[in-house]
Structure 1
Amino acid sequence: MPAVPKHRQPIINAAVTLFRRQGFARTGLNDIVDVSGAPKGSLYHYFPDGKSSIAVAAVEEAGRRVAATVAELAAECGSTGELLRAHARLLAGWMQGSGFRNGCPITTVLLELAPRERAVSEAGRKAYAARLSILRDKLVADGFARPRAEALAVLCTSALQGALIQARVERSGRPIEVTASELARLIEAEVRS
């Protein structure tokens, strides 16, 4: 029976945290070792292709977490507008809780490595696709045709990602909440018409 990968998940969790806070380039392998508590040899055992393979795993993990959060909100909220507002409150709270040091680990890694690192780019595409499909399905449930729902899902995701950056710069959750509120208003107005 193969051994349980005892240190793999702590390494990924540490990478997600560090990439979110300081980006890929500023995160060293020793930082990941320190935060994860894993022996340094575990990095090379689980990620023999180096730091970029840790980035792939971190983007995949962060993508799963975001998709799970958005799916949970989609199940709880009656409309896409409600979902966007609820997600914005969560994001703004997380940002404020971190002193506006944290960003999206997916975005921070992709900004530094895509398109140069194909495996990282592919992990990013999959992470965004999962989130987009949840939003698209919620928009379809709100009455939008699938092509329009797909376009609106891209708009919402892109706008919120930009709002995260603006929130860090302004040290305020307001850009996130304003963006979500305005997106919700646009969607709700289109539903009514």
Structure 2
Amino acid sequence: MAAQAKHRDKIVRSAAVLFRRYGYAASGTNDIVALSGAPKGSLYHYFPRGKEQIAEEVIAYAGELVRSTLARLCDEHDSPGAIVRAYSASLAGWMAESGYRDGCPISTILLEIAIEAEGVAQAGKAAFAAWEDVLATAFEARKIPRARAVELAGLAVCSWGGALVVAKAARSSQPIQRVAETLARQLDDAVRDAGPEQTD
């Protein structure tokens, strides 16, 4: 990897760690540089618009990690309910491993500055849309009608976001597990309501 890309990626990954744990405002550029180990002058070289540009990149980075994870789980599991349970289990494990200290870096950034920062808001919108598209496509491939698949994919994304906040407050994975089972039942019902696949 080229040195420029190496330092740039380190800054983004380090900012993601800090934002998800401490929030956007509480994570200064000096903190980001210190954690990344990148040369101090590199931050504004790679991110001339400063911390707000880093926030946009963190959202894109974290969003792609989630999208690729969801795509992998969609390939690995046969039913929509199993997909939701598997991703929820990974969320619950990650939260427990962090001692319920971490959150979603995308959510922390958006909650703090999305109203004032249009680029940040657009990056968040794109990330969520990509997650919903992966899920909706997988649900539709498993017999759920497109409109209902889109609806349930959006519900899943919104529910996971809320469950992470409640889990952090409760210091328990139970809210995530509850969301998983509720969503899985709705998805299983949607598959059942669709009936057998039609063949020519």
| TM over 0.5, shorter chain | yes
Tell me, in whole angstroms, the C-alpha distance in 2 between the residues paired with 1:3 and 1:98.
Answer: 31
- List 4+ stretches of structure 1 deviating above 3 A: none
Q: Which residue of 2 aligns with 1:74?
A: 74
Tell me, in whole angstroms, the C-alpha distance in 1 between the residues paired with 2:155 and 2:55.
Answer: 26
TM-score normalised to structure 2 length: 0.93
Q: Which residue of 2 aligns with 1:169?
A: 169
Report which stretch shifted further, 50-59 or 106-115: 106-115
2:35 is matched by which residue type in structure 1?
V
Q: Which residue of 2 aligns with 1:28?
A: 28
Where in structure 2 are the equivalents of 1:47-66 lying within 5 Å? 47-66=47-66
Cα distance, 1:138 vs structure 2: 1.2
Tell me, in whole angstroms, the C-alpha distance in 2 between the residues paired with 1:107 and 1:88.
Answer: 17
Q: Which residue of 2 aligns with 1:93?
A: 93
Q: Which residue of 2 aligns with 1:112?
A: 112
Tell me, in whole angstroms, the C-alpha distance in 1 between the residues paired with 2:39 and 2:52.
Answer: 18
1:118 is matched by which residue type in structure 2?
E
Cα distance, 1:78 vs structure 2: 0.6
Q: Which residue of 2 aligns with 1:12?
A: 12
Tell me, in whole angstroms, the C-alpha distance in 2 between the residues paired with 1:73 and 1:6.
Answer: 29
Tell me, in whole angstroms, the C-alpha distance in 2 between the residues paired with 1:81 and 1:5.
Answer: 39
1:33/1:4 CA distance change after superposition, 3 Å: closer
Tell me, in whole angstroms, the C-alpha distance in 2 between the residues paired with 1:165 and 1:24.
Answer: 16
Deviation readout 1:4-57 (Å, 9 max, x if unpaired): 433100000001111111110111111101110012211110001011000000
Q: Which residue of 2 aligns with 1:103?
A: 103
Query: How many residues are paired up?
Result: 192
2:180 is matched by which residue type in structure 1?
A
1:27/1:43 CA distance change after superposition, 3 Å: same
Tell me, in whole angstroms, the C-alpha distance in 2 between the residues paired with 1:102 and 1:59.
Answer: 15
User: Structure 2, unaligned stretches of length 5 or more?
Assistant: 194-200
1:189 aligns with 2:189: yes
- Helix, strand or coil: the match of 1:72? helix
- Helix, strand or coil: the match of 2:5? coil
Q: Which residue of 1 aligns with 2:121?
A: 121
User: Structure 1, unaligned stretches of length 5 or more?
Assistant: none
Deviation readout 1:99-125 (Å, 9 max, x if unpaired): 101111111111111132111111111
Cα distance, 1:177 vs structure 2: 1.1
TM-score normalised to structure 1 length: 0.96
Report which stretch shifted further, 56-65 or 142-151: 142-151
Greater C-alpha Rg = 2
1:20 is matched by which residue type in structure 2?
R
Cα distance, 1:142 vs structure 2: 2.0
2:161 is matched by which residue type in structure 1?
Q
2:112 is matched by which residue type in structure 1?
E
Cα distance, 1:3 vs structure 2: 6.4
Tell me, in whole angstroms, the C-alpha distance in 1 between the residues paired with 2:147 and 2:56.
Answer: 30
Tell me, in whole angstroms, the C-alpha distance in 2 between the residues paired with 1:41 and 1:71.
Answer: 37
Q: Percent identity?
A: 47
